[in-house]
Each structure stands twice: as C-alpha cells, then as structure tokens.
Amino acid sequence: MLLPLWAWSALAAALAQTGRNATQSGLTARLGTLGATNVRFLFGLPFAGVFLLAGLHLTGEALPDMTPRAVGFTFGGALAQIGATALMLQVMRSQSFGLTTAWLKVEPVLVALVGWLILGDALTLPMLGAIGVAVLGVLILTLKPELGRAMLTGTGPAMMGLLAGLAFGLSAIGFRGAITALPEGSFLIRSLTILALSLAMQTAMLVVWLGATNRPALTGSFAAFAPSLAAGFLGALASAFWFIAFSLTSAANVRTLALVEVIFALIVARVAFGQGVNARQGLGIAVLLVGVALLLRVST
C-alpha cells in the first residue's frame, strides 16, 4: 500500500522528535525541566523562520493573511502544549516513565473526539476501532502487570496524566485549527506560517516566565550552545513535519500514527544502550502496527 503524504510526514516527525528527545535529555540535569523545555522553542524559532523563508522562496507564494481565528487557535495550541509538558513532568516526578507514557498515549482517542466536536473532523467507527487497537498496543508495550494495577489505583496521578494527554490533544487540535483557518496559501506555506507563529508565542511566554523566576535556566541554555542548537533544530524539524501532516488530515490520524515514536525510542535504546525487547514488548509492537495499518487502510 502506497502511503499518503501525511503519513510520510508524520513518520518523519516521529523520527525527528525521537532524536530531539535523545538530544534534549542531557539538558534537563543542567538547565532544569523548564529550562530544557524552553530550548526547543528558543533555539527552534530561528530554524522555523528559515524553513518559512525557504518555503516562500521555493513556492513563490506570499505570506497568507492572518485571521483572528487562526491567531486564536495558534495561541490556544501553544499554551496547551506548554501546559501539557508541565503536567507530564509533574506526573513523572512521582510515577514511573512507563505508567506516565501509558496515560499520555490515550491521547489519540481524546484527539479524535475533540477534533470531531470542535473542527468537524471525520470520525467513523472503523477509525475509532483502529485508534483503539493502536492505543492498546502502546499499553501492552509500556505497562507491566504491577503498573497496570497502579494505573487503576493511583487516582490523582492518573487524572493528571489523562489531563496531560488531553492538553497535548488540544494543542494538536489548536494547531490544525489554525492551519485550516488561514484563507489562502498551499498546505506547506500555511503549515510553516503557523509553526513560526506558534514558536514565537511559546518562546515569548517562556522567556518572560524564566526571566522573572529562573534566570540561570534561561542563560544556561546559551552556555550549552551546541546541544541546545541541535535540540532546537530537531524540534523545529519535527514540528514542521507534524504541522504539514495536520494540514493534510485530521489530528486524530496524525497523533495515532505518532505512536510509532515508542518503537523508534526502543530502537534507540537498543542501539545506544544495548537494551533488548522482551516478549511483552514484542506483542505490544505487533498490536500497535496492526492498529496503524488499519488506520491507514480506513483513512485513505
């Protein structure tokens, strides 16, 4: 089956995001969680500007007219993404990585429902079934039996984890809503325009916040210039591909296919740290791939 352009874009985004996470992980100990988070926006913004200028040059198009609806959706998506990251980091302080991942990866189901309600994105029973199978694969992959019991008994962290997943979903809906709200321009230019605008908003918000509350974290990113620059580039590249995918199909389709990032992370762990894949993880990967294949079949 020949993959549509949105699928190739989402796969490229997941791969670039895996690289960004690996690059950015070492910055957390040096800059703190908010400082390391700010790197992806602060150092990603110049690259987003370069991507937009290159797109305008290659296509010969002009910047699309910005509408209040597009600005509002962009601001909502940018704010939701920052909030989701903060909630995720808070959950990870008290819960395991596997349990936090399991809660967050319920996101595609939430995205499908919210996208249908807010943007009128198509939502059929076969699509919901495919999304459910893919999410089940991630749960099998990330949850050990003891984590499954913790997921059912830890009400407070569970609600916070689900809220983080919902916030990530709202950010995807916001960015897709902003792209589709632009009245003109090709899918490429509309995507890159909203990308540059969203990173500018997020950079401004976090720079002001860190400047007032944690100036060393803000200035420390420049001391770690090389890794910060690499994380910024990979983050901007991943976001560019995410936004292109958002411009071509529903956010639910994109965020479901994004679950393959878990597989990419396992590959990185295998190559970089020699960590193998056990039988449970192998089953989870198989179920996840079946769900993705079903989604591609019913959405094309």
Mean pLDDT of the 289-300 span: 76
Which residue's entry shows tokens 């979903």? Answer: 169
Q: What token pair was written down for 173? A: 């809906």
pLDDT confidence of residue 92? 59
Whether the Cβ atoms of residue 17 and residue 267 lie closer than 8 Å to each other: no
Mean pLDDT for all residues in the chain = 81
Q: Across residues 35-58, what is the average pLDDT?
A: 92
Crossing angle of the two packed helices 125-142 and 97-104, in degrees rounded to 10: 180
User: Is the distance from CB of 279 to CB of 127 less than 8 angstroms?
Assistant: no
Domain total of the chain: 1
Return the structure tokens found at 176.
């897709």
Report residue 271 as tokens. Answer: 């190559």
**Which residues constitute the domain of residue 57?**
5-299
Q: Is 212 exposed, middle or buried (0-12, 13-18, 19+ CB in 10 A)?
A: exposed
The DSSP code for 277 is: -
Of the pLDDT bands very low, low, confident and very high (cuts 50, 70, 90), residue 152 is very low
Return the residue matching tokens 């939430």.
Answer: 110
Query: Does the pLDDT value for residue 282 go beyond 50?
Result: yes
pLDDT of residue 252: 84
Q: What percent of the chain has pLDDT over 70?
A: 81
Note the pTM of the prediction, 2 decimals: 0.82
Assign 153 a pLDDT band (cuts: 50, 70, 90): very low
pLDDT at residue 56, rounded to an integer:
96
Task: For 98-115, write each residue's pLDDT tens digit.
Answer: 555 556 666 777 788 778
Q: Which residue has the tokens 């969203």?
A: 198
pLDDT at 132: 83
How far is it, in rounded angstroms, from Cα 147 to Cα 167?
23
